[in-house]
Amino acid sequence: MEEKIKQMQAIYEDFEKAAASYKAEAACAKGCAFCCTDAGSIHITTLEGRVIQNCIQRLPRSRQVAVKKALAADMKRRERNQPSACPLLMKNRACMIYDHRPFACRRIYSLKTCSPSQHPVLSKQVMGLGDEAIKALQQLDDNGYSGHLSYILHMLNTPAFLETYLVGDYQPEAIMQFGKSHGIVINRMAIEMNG
């Protein structure tokens, strides 16, 4: 697992280097959390979910409880197709796991200041680089899945699923019902389709 996490970090770093010149003109600044509150879904891989899960486990106990409640509430809102801010966003609009944030959060930026009437403006080049990085992340996590943050963390908090995932097994039939109803992507199948 540690080796895969290092490889995941290398994918993040390669993307940042390749996208740096395009992102140099970004309007994003500390405290700007439009993407965390209004821009959509935060999709992660199960490997990224493990990193986030470990970050949450290192938080003070009271914060862990608050995050678990926020994740459960986010899951329920999303199941009802209601907008929901990232459950890892603090009241001061900062990310509590910023250094370990998933690729979906690293990828997005905007060339213009965002607002309800001005959604993020990204370059096509960065979107293309991001699509390639997502393929690489899914390939790296080939016995895992991709989906919204709360759904993937919910799966990882299920002992039987976690055990299967950690030993490197691949049993999509075990999550079939949840996966279909929650838009979970099987990484191995995504790789084959994009192959």
For 167-176, write each residue's pLDDT tens digit: 988 888 888 8
Q: Which residue blocks in the chain are alpha helix, DSSP H? A: 2-23, 34-37, 46-57, 61-79, 103-107, 124-140, 149-156, 159-166, 176-181, 187-194
pLDDT, tens digit (0-9, with 9 covering 90-100), for 100-129: 999 998 988 887 887 777 777 888 898 999
| pLDDT band, residue 72 (cuts 50/70/90) | very high
Beta strands in the chain, from DSSP E residues, in sequence order: 43-45, 145-148, 185-186
Token representation of residue 127: 């979107």
Residues sharing a CB contact under 8 Å with residue 132, sequence separation 6 or more, in sequence order: none
Structurally, how many domains does the chain consist of?
1
- How sure is the predictor about 195, in pLDDT bands with cuts at 50, 70 and 90? low
Q: What is the mean pLDDT of the chain?
A: 90
Yes or no: say if 46 and 165 are a contact pair by the CB < 8 Å rule: yes
Burial of 188 (0-12, 13-18, 19+ CB in 10 A): middle
Q: Mean pLDDT lowest for which of 22-31, 131-140, 143-152? A: 22-31
pLDDT at residue number 6: 97
In the chain, how long is the greatest CA-to-CA distance? Answer: 46
In the beta sheet, which residues pair with residue 147?
44
With 90 as the cut, is the pLDDT of residue 70 above it?
yes
CA-wise closest residue to 189 among 176, 178, 177: 176
Task: Tell me the backbone φ, ψ of residue 146, rounded to 5 degrees.
Answer: -130, 145
pLDDT at 32 over 90: no
- Given a cut of 70, whether residue 38 has pLDDT beyond it is no
Q: What is the mean pLDDT of residues 155-169?
A: 92
Domain that holds residue 144: 2-194
Per-residue pLDDT at 3 exceeds 70: yes
